[in-house]
Structure formats: C-alpha cells, structure tokens
Structure 1
C-alpha cells in the first residue's frame, strides 16, 4: 500500500466499514444462546452485566465506537471540512462513535424487558448509576447517528459527492426515522405497562440501518476523493 493511498480516503473508509461490521455484532444472538427474545428486548440487554454473553457484546460495542470515532477524526484532521452539512455530519459520526464507546462502559445491570424484578428495581430507582446512565448514553448515541445520517446524506446530494450515499441515503434515512419513532413509542408503552410493542424488532431495525448507512458511506468515500 503506497503512502499516497494511506493519505487518501482508504483509511477513513476502512475504519467506518470495520466499525459498521462490528456494530452488528448483536446479530450473533441468532447463533448464541442468550435467553432473550429479539422481538421484545433491548439490544443493549445482550450486554447487561448479568447476561452470560454480556462481556462479548460490551467489547464489540467499545470496538465499534472507537473505530467509527477514529474514522470521523481522520476525516476531520486530514480533510478539514468547512461546509455546514459536511461538518455537522462528521461531527455527528464522531459524537456517535465516542458515546457508543462510553455506552459500552455503562451497561445495564439486568434485563428489564425480560426480568420483572429488574423492571421493578429500575422503576423504583434501585439500580446502579451505570444502569440509570445507560438510557441517556444510548439516547445520545442514537441522536448522534441520526444527525450524521441526515447531514451527510444531504451533503452528498447537495454537493454532488459520494454517489452511492446520494442514491440510497434518503431511503435509509427515511426508514431509520420511522424505526426510531417505532422504538420510542414502544419504550413509552413498555414504561407505561402496556407491553413491548415489538420493541426489540423496532430497535434492531434501527441499529441495523445505522450500520448499513455507515457501510454505504464507507463505500462512497472509498470510491472518490473526500471533498468538503
């Protein structure tokens, strides 16, 4: 690999691509015995402190966050973007990566959607600080991802760059927003004692689309010079 290649878009694309793949590690639940129902439970419950595979999923979240953060910082330092939507987008990616890494260090202590006693302790405020903080860190990570997806998709279309993202980004973002609304509504229903409304399904679609979008962005920047 030449020095010029290292200075180009390949490192940014590689970091984002590996980050996207690692961010889908929760899909291992299809082959691992977790005891959690994917249609009803939070993705983050896989990484809860009392879960047998929790350490694995916390580690993959940490790695994914650091890879995505590194990709965004490399883009900022090397290419110094100045246009509004591009700056906002890369900042959103960096924020998403940093908070995802931090989120992995603030695991749930138990699985509230699968364990009524856990849900009762959570409602009574009898859970560790890390458990209580997890909902905030997860919300912030989701916000960063959505901001990045909207901003860089707009940048791709408005500035005539990153053809794959310009073509497919609007569809991915639209479905992501719908999945986010579904997830938020399901969380509200669960907290009100009205069931889970397939919370797990909605959230898994949500996080999967973040990974798909990151992969499309990685492909886009790998194919052309990373413009402002």
Structure 2
C-alpha cells in the first residue's frame, strides 16, 4: 500500500513554508529594498513600513514549525530513533530562532541607510539588534543541521540500514532529499561567507541578497518535504483522528488566532502612533 504523509504535520509545515518564504509579500510591496544587496529580514527592521507584515509572517511560521514538531514528537513510540529525534529537535530550534528573529528585529535596514550600515559594522545598534543577529545565526545553523541529518539518513538507507526514511526509500525520494538538503547546505555556507565578507561595511556584497533569497526558498522546500520523506512513526488506525491530532488541531487554530490578533493589535498601535 502506498504510504501517505501524516496529514497534520504536512499541513503545518507547508503552511509554515508558505509564510516563511516572504518573497510573494516582498513582490506585492514592490520590492521596498534592493533585493540584490539586502537581507529579507531587513524588511522586518523596526524602521521599515513593512516591519509588522514580515514580523507577523515569520512569527506565525515559527509557531507552526514548533507545533508540527510537537505533533511529530508525540507520535514517536520511543526516543531510540536518535536521528529522527535529533532532526525534530533541530527543526524545533529553527522555529524558535525564527520567532526570536521577529521578537528582536533589526533596529534598521543597513542596505537602505549608510548610517545604519556603519553602526551595524561597529556593533552599536543596541542589544536587541545583537540578539537578532544571534537568533538568525541559530536558525540558520538549525536548518543546516536538519539538512545534514537528512543526508545522513539517505547515506544510511543506501547501505541498507534502518532510518526514518524507511527501510528502502525509493530512488526518487532519495534523490529529492539529497538535492534539496545539499542546496540548503551550499546556500547556507555561501550566505555565511558573504555575511562575513560584508561585515566590515554592514551590507551584503552585490548579489548576496539573491543568494539569501535562494537559501530561503531551499529551506522552504525542505520544510515542505520533511513530512513526506519520513515514514510515519505510528501506523494510522481506522478509528479516525487520535486525541493528539484533535488537540493539535485545536492548538493550531488557537495559536493562529492568537498570533493574528497580536499582529493586528501591534499593527493598529503602530498606525496610531505614526499618525499621532
């Protein structure tokens, strides 16, 4: 019988990927910043008109990733599957880092303001900006860890060893996992190198913004693929959704409503303050 992905984690992670991508919202806003030299996260900087939009998108994306991880953790029979547990833990850290990104946004957009870029290079933009930098680096490292663990699973499966990908994953699935995870790792390493090379000026080199957006797309592909690539930790029963699924669905709806309410309230407050 053909194996289907667990529905709830697939819905949660696909929704998270759609929100985290950011490129559609950037295009709809007419690319407020130069996409060849700016980070996507600069659009969420405190001094940007688009700040609340992108902070809301990333906050909800990180929350959905965490909720998906919680569902998948609850469905584990045991923690003896070390690689699966490590991958889910790394994925959860990615969600936490993404949420911390927006709770501590950049103070300003270095690519749009020379004074901001100089202050960023000098490290004088304040503690919140430093926390944002650390959170971004942590989220990037966590996403890279997820990709690396998936690659290890592919290598183990090729040797006939048991993995969360199944005892004998199809060549198509193995190729898909390999291509996406290698792209995540290559683009992550490239973005890190470009960030270091531009640290003296506080701005990405020309073309760095494009690479960072490609990196974001590959991470989104990985998020979407994870629930399809992994074999279910539990065999589904004919009795219908489990209690865990029902609780998770309620949690998903409540979390979505809460996040949208908070984002809306903050946006309304920002509008009031700006017009005062």
Q: TM-score range by the shorter chain?
A: 0.7 to 0.9
Range that drifts further, 131-140 or 156-165: 156-165
Aligned length: 220
**Aligned equivalents of 1:9, 1:112: Cα separation in 2:** 42
Q: Is the 8 A contact 1:165 1:217 kept in 2?
A: no
Residues 38-84 of structure 1 show CA distances to partners (whole Å, capped at 9, x for unaligned) of 11101110100111111000010000000011101111122244222
Match of 1:100 among 98, 101, 104: 98
Say whether 1:214 aligns with 2:223.
yes
Range that drifts further, 185-194 or 11-20: 185-194
Residues 145-167 of structure 1 show CA distances to partners (whole Å, capped at 9, x for unaligned) of 11112213433562242756533
Match of 1:67 among 56, 64, 69: 64
Residues 100-137 of structure 1 show CA distances to partners (whole Å, capped at 9, x for unaligned) of 11211010010112211101122333313211211110
Q: Where has structure 1 moved over 4 Å in runs of 4 or more?
A: 162-165
Say whether 1:205 aligns with 2:203.
no
Structure-2 residue corresponding to 1:140: 138
Structure-2 residue corresponding to 1:45: 42
- Residue ranges of structure 1 left out of the alignment (5+ in a row): 1-7
- Residue ranges of structure 2 left out of the alignment (5+ in a row): 158-162, 236-276
Q: Is the 8 A contact 2:38 2:204 kept in 1?
A: no
Q: TM-score, normalised by structure 1?
A: 0.87
